[in-house]
Amino acid sequence: MDKILRQVQEQPSYAAQVLLVTAAVLRIQSERALHPRVLDIALGFGADAIVGELPTAVALDATDRARAVLPPVDDTVTHGEYALRLDSIAKTV
């Protein structure tokens, strides 16, 4: 039982997984400047991939938690740079 509990505790949270998939989506065009709308689309892909089949309450909670830790977007950051930020933040969620 301890082994199973340890495995569950070591898995990233749903919110962290959403951030990691969002980062992967952004890396597809890593050199492009990031715009808020593109981030919303990438986050939507991440949420659909990770929590799309889960109960609504769980999916909304994970997506809200992921969205709450997103760093601000400005016109100087690229998709790749922002993806690195998401990777780092995902470790803390």
pLDDT in tens, 12-31: 999 999 999 999 999 999 99
Q: What percent of the chain has pLDDT over 90?
A: 86
- The pLDDT value given to residue 1: 65
Region 71-88: mean pLDDT is 95
Q: What percent of the chain has pLDDT over 70?
A: 94
| Cβ(49)–Cβ(73) below 8 Å | no
Please provide residue 92's backbone torsions phi and psi, each rounded to the nearest 5 degrees: -105, -5
| Model confidence at 60: pLDDT above 80 | yes
